[in-house]
Amino acid sequence: MAEAGSYKRSLGIFELVSLGVGGTIGSGIFVVPGIAAKLTGPWSLLAWLIVAISASCVLLSLASVSSGFASSNSFYTLFASVFSTWLAVPLITLYVISSIFGVSTIAAGIGQYTSYFGFSHVLLIEITIIGAFCWLNITGISFSGMTENILTTLKIIPLIIISILLIPFVKIDNFVPQVPFTATGLLATIIIVYWPFTGFEISAIPVEETRDPALIRRSLIIIMGIVVSVYLLLNVSLIGSVGVEALATSPAPVATAAGILFARSGTIVAVIGIIAMLSAINAYIVGTSRILQSMSSEFSVPVIRDLNSRGTPAPALIAGCAISGFLLLFSNHFDQLATISVITTLIPYVFFCLASWVIMTDVKSRLVSAIGAISTASILIIYFIL
In a domain, 4, yes or no: no
% of the chain exceeding 90 in pLDDT: 53
Q: Predicted confidence band at 261 (pLDDT cuts at 50, 70, 90)?
A: confident
Q: What is the pLDDT of residues 94-105, one digit of tens each?
A: 999 999 999 998
How many domains does the chain contain in total?
1
Q: Stretch 233-249: mean pLDDT, rounded?
A: 93
CATH number at residue 307: 1.20.1740.10
Residue 176 counted as domain residue: yes
Q: Would 99 be classed as within a structural domain?
A: yes
Mean pLDDT of 266-291: 90
Mean pLDDT across the chain, nearest whole number?
Answer: 89
Q: What is the pLDDT of residue 313?
A: 93
Asked if pLDDT for residue 3 goes beyond 50, the answer is no
pLDDT reported for residue 160: 94
327 is a domain residue: yes
In contact, 189 and 39? CB cutoff 8 Å: yes
Q: Is residue 76 domain-resident?
A: yes
The number of beta carbons lying within 10 Å of the beta carbon of residue 55 is 25
Residue 2 pLDDT class (50, 70, 90 cuts): very low
Asked if residue 312 belongs to a domain, the reply is yes
Category of 199 on φ-ψ map: left (φ > 0), alpha (ψ -120 to 50) or beta: left
Residue 231's contacts (CB-CB under 8 Å, 6 or more residues apart) are 29, 48, 52, 196, 197
Give the pLDDT band of residue 134 (cuts 50, 70, 90).
Answer: very high
For 340-366, the pLDDT digits (tens) are 888 899 999 999 999 999 999 999 999
Least confident of 107-111, 119-123, 279-283: 119-123
pLDDT score of 117 more than 80: no
Q: Which domain holds residue 344?
A: 13-385
Higher pLDDT, 173 or 3: 173
Is residue 7 domain-resident? no
| 2 within domain boundaries | no
Give me the pLDDT at residue 256, please: 86
Segment 18-71, tens digit of pLDDT: 999 999 998 788 888 988 998 899 999 999 999 999 999 999 999 888 876 655
Angle at CA 352, nearest 5°, toward 346 and 353?
A: 95
Rounded to whole angstroms, how far apart are CA atoms 162 and 257? 9
Grade residue 280 by pLDDT with cuts at 50, 70 and 90.
very high
pLDDT digits (tens, 9 = 90+) for 136-165: 999 988 888 899 999 999 999 999 999 999
Q: Work out the average pLDDT over 80-106.
A: 92
